[in-house]
Amino acid sequence: MAKATYKDAGVDLEVYDEAMTRLPRLMHRTFSPRVMKLDGGFAGLYQLDFANRLFSRNYEDPVLVSCTDGVGTKLKVAILVGRHDTVGIDLVAMSVNDALCCGAEPLFFLDYVAMSHDDPARLEAIVRGISDGCIEADCALLGGETAIMPDIYARGEYDLAGFCVGVVERKELIDGRSISPGDIVVGLPSSGLHSNGYSLVRKVVFDLAGLGVHDRVPQLGDATVGEALLTPTQIYARPIRKILQHYRQKNVIHGLAHITGGGLRDNLERILPEGTRAVLDRTSWKVPPVFHWLQGLGDIDDDEMERVFNMGIGMTLVFHPRHESNIRHLLIECGYEPSILGEIQAGPRGVVWK
């Protein structure tokens, strides 16, 4: 009887080692001087403060903020298309955007990649996207883990998980408790579907409509189905941090909500204190064509669309209207056209449409 080997069981350590040699450069391009290099070590090292004047933060009462998320079944689309360098951006965005909602500065990111078999080129493409996302979020890709599990995932399948750690001064923490009647709700545009609702998306597009990833969609500027569905999640680190740094220690932003699964209603409601409600106007922003296209394909009810998808708003900010002009200017400088979605009123806690 032949001797059993790990390779025969589906894991080739030589190919795995080759894959690992491709990743350090993708990590190093995200490093700032606050990262303490430990290549080959068992953990990543990051200095919370730094002696150099350029990087010194002089924290008084720092609070660490941590988030984790995945990409969901959007990965199925990436596999169908055969493109794997965008879902890593989604992975970073889903956690970093959550951390921003507490007013945190994203410090570093960790990834977990589980694959059906060793595939150095695919792994490199995935991590390249994660690295790109970290650069956009201005945080370090500090480390990660890759697992090869042929008996868990069908050949060619993989899954992703991400973990972000940020920091905020306790007195600058944003938790929604300062939201009060008279505040306005401002929305930042999403880049499309982001990374939510893809089980419904795939059912409508592939099963009900019978489309393929390479089919062209005239309603979407003749983009392919794959291109439309793989548009990465928007990362809001630069505009949010620009505003927070401009108003440092003034606590101008009363609340931030990342609009993911559950839509505007569920996610905005999470940050509202008792006795306040957000009254929003559906006509205050333009819904991107991808949502109209999807809704038409599946004959999806309006309520279902609003409950599952972001409908074109990826992040909301709540603040007093006297700051609206200045904050709008800061957002436009960052390339965003904000929309005033509505206002905060006294009443039962929740989100309603006017």
65-106 pLDDT tens trace: 999 999 999 999 999 999 999 999 999 999 999 999 999 999
Would you give the distance in Å from CA 331 to the centre of its chain?
Answer: 18
Q: How high is the pLDDT of residue 12?
A: 83
What whole-number distance in Å separates Cα of residue 351 and Cα of residue 86?
A: 33
Q: Quick check: 55 pLDDT over 80?
A: no
**Average pLDDT of the residues in 178-195:** 98
pLDDT category, 20, cuts 50, 70, 90?
Answer: confident
Tokens of 302: 């309006």
Would you give the distance in Å from CA 310 to the centre of its chain?
Answer: 12
Q: How high is the pLDDT of residue 57?
A: 83
Q: How high is the pLDDT of residue 38?
A: 84
291-315 pLDDT tens trace: 999 999 999 999 999 999 999 999 9
pLDDT category, 1, cuts 50, 70, 90?
Answer: low
**Average pLDDT of the residues in 138-162:** 96
Cβ atoms 139, 100 nearer than 8 A: no
Q: How high is the pLDDT of residue 9?
A: 80
Task: List domains and CATH numbers for the chain.
Answer: 13-172 (3.30.1330.10), 184-353 (3.90.650.10)
**Average pLDDT of the residues in 172-187:** 97
pLDDT category, 16, cuts 50, 70, 90?
Answer: confident
Cβ atoms 118, 12 nearer than 8 A: yes
Cβ atoms 343, 183 nearer than 8 A: yes
> Which run of H or E residues covers position 224?
strand 223-224
**Average pLDDT of the residues in 101-124:** 96
Q: How high is the pLDDT of residue 50?
A: 80
Q: Quick check: 2 pLDDT over 80?
A: no
For the ranges 31-35, 163-167, 342-346, the lowest mean pLDDT is seen at 31-35
Nearest to 29, CA basis, from 131, 143, 133, 120: 131
Nearest to 349, CA basis, from 257, 287, 269, 245: 269
311-329 pLDDT tens trace: 999 999 999 999 999 999 9
pLDDT category, 333, cuts 50, 70, 90?
Answer: very high
Nearest to 266, CA basis, from 252, 254, 253, 280: 280
- Average pLDDT of the chain? 95
Residue 312, helix vs strand vs coil: coil
Report which of residues 16 and 67 the model is more confident about. 67
What whole-number distance in Å separates Cα of residue 124 and Cα of residue 190?
A: 27
Proportion of the chain above pLDDT 90, given as a percent = 85
Residue 150, helix vs strand vs coil: coil
Residue 280, class by beta-carbon neighbours within 10 Å (0-12 exposed, 13-18 middle, 19+ buried)?
buried
Tokens of 299: 């004959």
Cβ atoms 313, 187 nearer than 8 A: yes
Tokens of 323: 């700051």
What whole-number distance in Å separates Cα of residue 175 and Cα of residue 177?
A: 6
Proportion of the chain above pLDDT 70, given as a percent = 99
Bin 106: left if φ > 0, else alpha if -120 < ψ < 50, else beta: beta
Query: Helix H segments across 209-275?
Result: 225-229, 237-246, 263-269
